[in-house]
C-alpha cells in the first residue's frame, strides 16, 4: 500500500492556502465568482488557483501519482476513471464550502485524499483560517494538529440513543420530493433540533471525528467531498457505509452515505430516519 508523509501534505496545503485562498477571502469581486449548476453550486478564482497549485505540488510527494480535483472533473468527467486504476490518485477539493467562502464565513477547508485501487489510504483536511489540520492514514489512526494545543488523537463519539444524537442531515439532493419530505419529517420527529446543514462537508467530518457530532447523511457521493472525511472518521473509530450497507468506494457516486458512531447506531439511524429512502 502506498504511504505518504502526512506532515508534508499538511505543509503543502498550508502553503497553497496562504498563497491562493486566504488573500481572496473576504476580498472577492463579483467577477471572481461563477455559478456551476445553480446559485448554491459556486466556483471562485480561489478554487481554481488553489487546485492548480495543489496539482503542481502534491504528485511530487508520491512517485507515479496523479491528481484530480473538483474543478478539473467539471471539465473532464473521464478523470474519475483513474480512481479504479493501480496508480495512486490524489483527490482534492481546493475550497470545500465555497458558498460559505464567498459569504465571508470561515467555515471552509481544503480537503485531500490519496486513493489507490479505489480505496482511500491517506487523508488531510486543512482549515486555512485557524490553521487546524486533521490527518489520517489507513490503519494508523487519526489526529488533529492545532496551532495552540499541538497534536492530539481523534476519537469519534460513543454510541448514544437517538434522543441525544446530534449531527448533519443533507436532504437537498434526494431526487424524489415525497421521499425528501418523509425523511425530513422523520428527522424532525426523532431528532428534534439536533440535525443541521452547514454547507461544508469538512466541518461535518471534523465534528464527527472529534466526537462532537454522532452522525452525518449525504445523498451525493462526490469523492472530493467524502473520501478524506470518511477515512478520518473511520480511523477515529467511527462507522460509515452506503445506504445499502456496502462499504464506501470513492468511484461510486450514487447511493447515499451515512456515518455513525458504530454499526448498531448506523442501523438504528438508517431505519428510524432514512427508512423512506428504501
- Annotated binding-site residues for Mg(2+) read 70, 93, 96, 225
Task: Kindly compute the dihedral angle of the four CA atoms of residues 35, 40, 45, 47, in this order, to the nearest 10 degrees.
Answer: -130
Rounded Cα distance between 246 and 251, Å, is 13
Instruction: Write the DSSP string, 152-205.
Output: EE--PPPP--TTT--EEE--TT-S-HHHHHHHHHHHHHHSTT-EE--S-HHHHH
Q: Grid coordinates standing for 235?
A: 480511523
Beta bridge partners of 216: 168, 259
Q: Compute φ and ψ for 81, nearest 5 degrees.
A: -65, -20
The C-alpha atoms of residue 45 and residue 29 are separated, in whole angstroms, by: 10
Environment class of residue 124 by beta-carbon count within 10 Å: exposed (0-12), middle (13-18) or buried (19+)?
Answer: buried
Q: Which three cell numbers stand for residue 237?
A: 473509530
Query: Which residue ranges make up the annotated binding site?
Result: 70, 93, 96, 225
* Nine-digit cell string for 7: 506532515
Q: Would you give the end-to-end CA distance of the chain in angstroms?
A: 36
Q: Give the single-character DSSP code of 132.
A: E
Strands (E) located in 76-164: 89-96, 109-116, 119-127, 132-137, 142-146, 150-153
Amino acid at each position: 500500500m502506498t504511504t505518504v508523509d502526512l506532515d508534508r501534505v499538511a505543509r503543502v496545503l498550508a502553503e497553497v492556502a496562504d498563497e491562493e485562498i486566504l488573500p481572496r477571502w473576504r476580498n472577492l469581486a463579483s467577477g471572481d465568482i461563477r455559478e456551476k449548476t445553480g446559485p448554491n453550486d459556486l466556483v471562485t478564482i480561489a478554487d481554481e488557483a488553489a487546485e492548480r497549485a495543489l496539482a503542481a505540488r502534491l504528485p511530487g510527494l508520491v512517485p507515479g501519482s496523479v491528481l484530480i480535483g473538483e474543478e478539473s472533473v467539471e471539465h473532464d468527467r473521464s478523470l474519475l476513471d483513474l480512481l479504479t486504476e493501480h496508480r495512486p490518485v490524489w483527490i482534492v477539493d481546493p475550497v470545500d464550502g465555497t458558498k460559505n467562502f464567498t459569504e465571508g464565513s470561515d467555515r471552509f477547508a481544503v480537503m485531500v485524499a490519496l486513493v489507490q485501487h479505489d480505496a482511500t489510504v491517506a487523508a488531510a483536511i486543512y482549515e486555512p483560517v485557524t490553521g487546524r489540520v486533521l490527518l489520517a492514514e489507513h490503519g494508523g489512526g487519526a489526529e488533529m494538529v492545532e496551532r495552540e494545543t499541538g497534536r492530539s488523537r481523534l476519537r469519534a463519539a460513543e454510541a448514544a440513543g437517538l434522543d441525544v444524537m446530534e449531527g448533519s442531515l443533507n436532504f437537498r439532493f434526494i431526487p424524489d420530493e415525497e421521499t425528501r419530505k418523509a425523511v425530513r419529517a422523520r428527522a424532525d420527529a426523532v431528532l428534534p433540533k439536533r440535525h443541521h446543514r452547514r454547507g461544508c462537508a469538512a466541518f461535518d467530518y471534523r465534528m464527527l471525528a472529534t466526537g462532537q457530532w454522532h452522525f452525518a447523511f449525504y445523498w451525493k457521493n462526490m469523492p472530493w467531498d467524502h473520501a478524506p472525511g470518511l477515512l478520518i472518521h473511520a480511523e477515529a473509530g467511527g462507522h460509515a457505509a452506503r445506504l445499502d450497507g456496502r462499504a464506501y468506494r470513492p468511484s461510486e457516486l450514487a447511493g447515499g452515505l451515512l456515518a455513525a458512531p458504530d454499526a448498531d447506531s448506523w442501523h438504528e439511524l438508517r431505519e428510524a430516519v432514512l427508512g423512506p429512502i428504501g
